[in-house]
Chain A
């Protein structure tokens, strides 16, 4: 049994920032991460991070209040406005802090940080380092975590929370290098495991984004919030769904249909390609569905050729390399085939704006959490911002919690031991079971159901059928077995345990989507195609039921107060 004051699960931007905050306050902090923190999916973010610096020539009149308004409107008024304002106000400080810590942002001639236009934003406020902003931010925080002496446990697959009398007291983790499970006890646990994009077959996400952190909290009784809101990015590469940044359109790229038309004219005449992602994704999907894909194929074109080689090489070198390597297309010479692709989980573990979950001792930050700042649709450039703002806030809240904790008893070793044994027994049982179902086939089946039944356009009949299929997958998943039960780097065990998490998360998404009879942000229903504030201006909460396949749904009010909900026009 290993003990630390604070355990952070996940070493992406949120986890690193939370760890640094707690460590700076003198706490004993450890990060447990499935991959080395520098390999986290935060590093795949490309386009940038929003903050109303006003550095761009057209951005002098920008303010954090306007950033808050754009974020609220972009999220179709489902975001909690107090949390949104905390985020956009802190954004400016965040950018300067990351610069002071060495983040290599791109620069204007006068030495200030560059900004570019981004979707749904009234001003160009997206700060960037070429088109590798996530990579640069991530490595900067990795470096700082080494500087501050945060203890790293690398390649630890965290599979379960230790909960004693309703209080989170640690985690159970599989040591991928040495093999075997271990109990880690702590006074405070912060989940920062990222999104669950891989529940969809057509995701831009890293392969490790399986929603494990969300599922752990959910299975321990913490609700997941607003899971029906799944973002589809308008421009995933056609073949692999690898992300082509919104920054490509921010720099002036066009979206073209098979007729060579800039089709966004029809859908968002003012904002064009830089409307919020839900709107641009629906537009692209409509063009494809109505037969105006490229040569009748199910994709459209992202055309950068008119930007010229110099601009592409300076501002968008990363996506150029990706397009060449993964699609065989050089954007300097040819338009890029793209398709709306699952990209982001707006929902997540229910937290307040300090990252605290309803369970004492448990926090969550970043994509795995739902504060909510993104509401029904996240604006590009706000996810990197969320990770750092709420990573820090979670760390700070943990520090306050620990100060009030002095004299309290240490985590209960018997509970931790029992949780460890339960995990080991579970794996043994899975191995003995032999298994009549194939975990890998079930995973594929599930990911195709989410893609085909819970996509950009949704309706009652399709979703109800999809939900049935997911329940069937869940039932059959009880009959999977392990082929390999021991040893180091046991992918068979990890990927089989992943399946259980993924199905639970998918069921929360599906149940919430069927239930919400309105269209809001990324959740668009052809049978209820209007927003319905009278009935649905509220958060969905999904609670785990040990004896039932799907969740129990409940609701929670949205914090309004500053911006009156109005119709979204772009």
Chain B
């Protein structure tokens, strides 16, 4: 196969003459290995310099290039065309659009301001009340294992975009921010008692999660925000009934 079609959703909401979304097809050379991100660069260089998308590490660790590709949340850099189902079609089409349900800046670039405002809202940092030791704060491997899952979050936004509870309630903090809250609540070094709790144990927080589990399906790192949120719900109940936090 010498060429493959990229069908890209284009939109510049600030363009007064043409603010509506449209689909554009581009032919991109394809020889065995081609990631979606490489394809987008080819289009931007060869066909249309005005195509906009985020990029940085191209190695699936920075979380910049989260998009909705052929009906699934993916990192464009991590998506090799040859692994997509469409590769078996007679005329394969790679369909690329921005993460849905997130405000748009332009083309494939979403406005992540709310996403990061919610991240900041939950106070995503280690809270200590006692004096730090001279050396490291001891943490057993077993305790360290508790944070294995949430610390791998790259804040790409796939879970946030995929969550129907986010779609329906703009104030809901969403899976990524709550996963971050969970990450600190289960860190044996964290000593927050009352400080962070009101941030997620409220009408914006964990109770809006209806365990639909879209987030864990969407996560390119195969994490489970749902699992973290359920833990937080239980912790909130424990605290309300017995006054215990951890």
Which A residues lie at the B interface, using CB under 8 A?
35-36, 38-41, 43-44, 53, 95-96, 99-102, 104-113, 129, 132, 135-136, 139, 143-144, 146-147, 154, 177, 179, 206-208, 239-240, 242-243, 318, 321-322, 325-326, 440, 482-484, 487-492, 495
Contact = CB atoms under 8 A, between A and B. Distances in A.
A135 B78 contact: no
Given A113-B136, A488-B106, A491-B51, A108 B141 contact: yes
B151 A136 contact: yes
B156 to A, nearest CB: 9
Contacts of A488: 12, 14, 52, 105-106, 109
A111 B59 contact: no
B62 interface: yes
A207 B55 contact: yes
Given A325-B80, A489-B107, 16 more contacts: A41-B56, A44-B62, A100-B126, A108-B141, A135-B61, A147-B123, A206-B57, A206-B59, A207-B55, A207-B56, A207-B57, A243-B59, A325-B60, A488-B14, A488-B105, A489-B106
Kindly name the residue among B56, B124, B128 whose own CB sees the greatest number of chain A CB atoms within 10 A.
B56
Given A322-B59, A488-B14, A100 B137 contact: yes
Contacts of B134: 96
B124 to A, nearest CB: 5
B59 A36 contact: no
B189 A492 contact: no
Interface stretch (B42-50, B87-95, B234-242): B42-50
Contacts of B61: 43-44, 132, 135, 318
B219 to A, nearest CB: 13
21 contacts: A35-B56, A38-B62, A40-B62, A41-B56, A53-B135, A99-B137, A100-B128, A102-B125, A102-B190, A109-B141, A112-B135, A129-B151, A135-B152, A136-B151, A322-B59, A326-B59, A483-B49, A484-B50, A488-B12, A490-B50, A492-B49
B64 interface: yes
Interface string B125-152: 1101000101111111101100100011
Contacts of B152: 132, 135
Kindly name the residue among A240, A490, A491 whose own CB sees the greatest number of chain B CB atoms within 10 A.
A491
A514 to B, nearest CB: 31
Contacts of A40: 56, 62
B116 interface: yes
Nearest to A46: B61
A109 B140 contact: yes
Contacts of B126: 100-102, 143
A110 B212 CA distance: 39
Kindly name the residue among A39, A105, A440 whose own CB sees the greatest number of chain B CB atoms within 10 A.
A39
Nearest to B15: A487
B18 interface: no
Nearest to B151: A104
B44 A111 contact: no
B44 to A, nearest CB: 6
Contact of B136 (A95, A132, A154, A208): A95
B62 A39 contact: yes
A125 to B, nearest CB: 14
A329 to B, nearest CB: 13
B73 interface: no
Given A96-B134, A208-B56, A492 B64 contact: no
A353 B141 CA distance: 37
Nearest to B45: A440
A44 B62 CA distance: 7
A287 B189 CA distance: 48
Given A43-B57, A132-B152, A489 B124 contact: no
Contacts of B24: none
A133 to B, nearest CB: 11
B78 to A, nearest CB: 5
Contact of A483 (B50, B53, B105, B123): B50
B49 A177 contact: no
Contacts of B138: 110-112
Interface string B172-185: 00000000000010
Contacts of B187: 102, 104
Given A147-B125, A491-B44, A206 B62 contact: yes
Contacts of B151: 104, 129, 136, 139
B69 interface: no
B112 A487 contact: no
B33 A206 contact: no
Given A143-B126, A489-B107, A489-B109, A104 B62 contact: no
Interface pairs A-B: 10 shortest CB-CB: A111-B138, A102-B126, A492-B49, A483-B49, A489-B52, A39-B62, A143-B125, A440-B45, A147-B125, A99-B136
B111 interface: yes
Contact of A487 (B50, B58, B64, B190): B50
A106 B137 contact: no
B225 interface: no
A326 B125 CA distance: 33
B36 to A, nearest CB: 13
Contact of A242 (B49, B59, B135, B154): B59
B52 A146 contact: no
B63 interface: yes
A104 to B, nearest CB: 5
B33 A239 contact: yes
A166 to B, nearest CB: 34
Contacts of B52: 488-491
B43 to A, nearest CB: 11
Contacts of A322: 59-60
Contact of B105 (A99, A106, A239, A489): A489
B155 interface: yes
Contacts of B114: none
A321 B60 CA distance: 10
Given A102-B189, A325-B80, A491-B51, A35 B132 contact: no
Contacts of A136: 151
Given A143-B126, A207-B57, A491-B44, A104 B33 contact: no
